[in-house]
Structure 1
């Protein structure tokens, strides 16, 4: 139509550039990404090599002591450590230095396993500090050092205490007596002598000690019970020492028995009972606590009995044998009023004391004695009455 512009023709599409070498052929497909590919199997990891445990150093030696000393050598002795480590013990190292310095010098060039060693080629008169170490693959132990320095000099005779035979057991004295002990010893040069009581120094107000070249004197002028105990004697020459123990016991009479009472009376016999004394006098009672019994003079007849008569359980107890019929006393042996007063005045003597025996409420009777109820009880037989007193 006139006056209408024609529609513009579309521009021809420009063909895209084709990859070289392909021409009109279609493009090859792209390779898949690496994440899509299956994983390749990995070789197994190598197992870690086992590590050997680290070796530990040993424990230190113990009980280091001087065995002998001469004018140019010193011999040592000690005990092996309790812990030597898993690698075992390689040996010991001995070191020494002059007293007052810190210049430690090894006494042995090579390690050794013996627990004894002698340091030679020393100078007479030197004072040496000595120590010992244990060695293994883990290193050296802490050193064990002698408590005191060693003086290098000749000891002609080692110290030795000659304890007398009577002092090898408990030495017993009574209160108020004198304790005078002479104990010889040997040692050259002259040893140092020291006394102690149960680890404590002696009381100079109670004990006097005099030391000589060949003996020592232990002296107590008036013994008391507090002087009882264990005394230690020590003599020493440098590091060499000898000890002895002296056991001293000071005793005195025991106290009186307690709770004494009359259990029963039959015929001319009495049964008694008591309890042991509280104070045994610092010694065991003899005869398992059996006392000494005595008869006292009767007030009605003071001239008939003038001394104490001792009675023992075995000699004064007249008991009927088991299974036998009791023997009935004759009328002549019945007690009179005078005999009754005599038996009711019985007293007990123990260590010089006479506690009064209370009057027994038990009536006089005949027949066998009662059985003892306690170890501290028995029967006492009295004297037979004379014909004049029996009527």
Structure 2
């Protein structure tokens, strides 16, 4: 590039907010600068690392040789596992699912570092949610529960909640927080309930009881005064939004807590409007959940078989499959999730024949490793924001690297 170029209204894949108002300047050397300032955007908007497009057993190889090696590796596998689909564009996810179908593979489309029971809750109970635009324009009471967007989603407060101007608000927002310790976000709220994570189910049950007009024995709920205060503010709001972080729904009791909270929110809707919003990690895990549902009719995780896909919400989770030794090969789509995955999972992954796709060195070995174009920087496509809204990505920097979708389609040819 002989001179700098400026791109406006760029979508950022640095977190699941997918902010679509960025200005990105690409200088003559290919270095990117973003505005407005955001640490997640500054980190994401860099070209992928240098290195060969393909490695086989750690040695540089041609793309054609890598595709042939991946075909041979997976041809001998009886139970391959696909994971990390949230790092791909929607087109990349569809290609990955086509490949998994052909191979008869297990697919866990969820983030292995953040177990999410939402798929089961949507089937069993249902969940009332909304777009981020609705939260911004209508929510006059917002509860952040185990969520610290000031750190994890830096522009969420500015664009969609506490600092955003609500089109239909006539007064100030009421802000509340529940967390194990004070956070950057809780320090911005009016009401803060400090509670251990282990108390989430108790709090959710207490809120549900209050929402149904039940009396609660104070001796049976140590946090009753705080919970009553939170319920009073949520139930008196015109539009209440409960914003959840991964810590809330990622525990062993996550499904029970989510189901209880979904029931509570449904009861709030008898007299006012209330919704739940999940601050998933980025960039496209919600898109992965939707892509697998489009393809199979089931939420993740599934196994493709000759007679059609099979669904097991707990038994087909990547961690369980790996721990039980039910997997004999892995197709891994690398990203931030891999750095945050449990150490025992990474240890098990290292022992299996692996084909990996990523735009930087993941630090985890793979027999065949493809270096691919980075979505939203080196290639386009689309991803889904955390509220299910699809957004188009831009190609800002030219590259000779292939996309994940292109490699998969060649491997299937």
**Which of the five TM-score ranges fits, normalised by the shorter chain?**
under 0.3
Q: Which one has a bigger Cα radius of gyration? A: 1
Q: Which has the higher strand share?
A: 1
TM-score by length of 1: 0.18
Looking at both structures, which has the greater relative contact order when contacts are Cα pairs under 8 Å and sequence separation is at least 6? 2
Q: Given the two structures, how large is their TM-score scaled by the length of structure 2?
A: 0.17
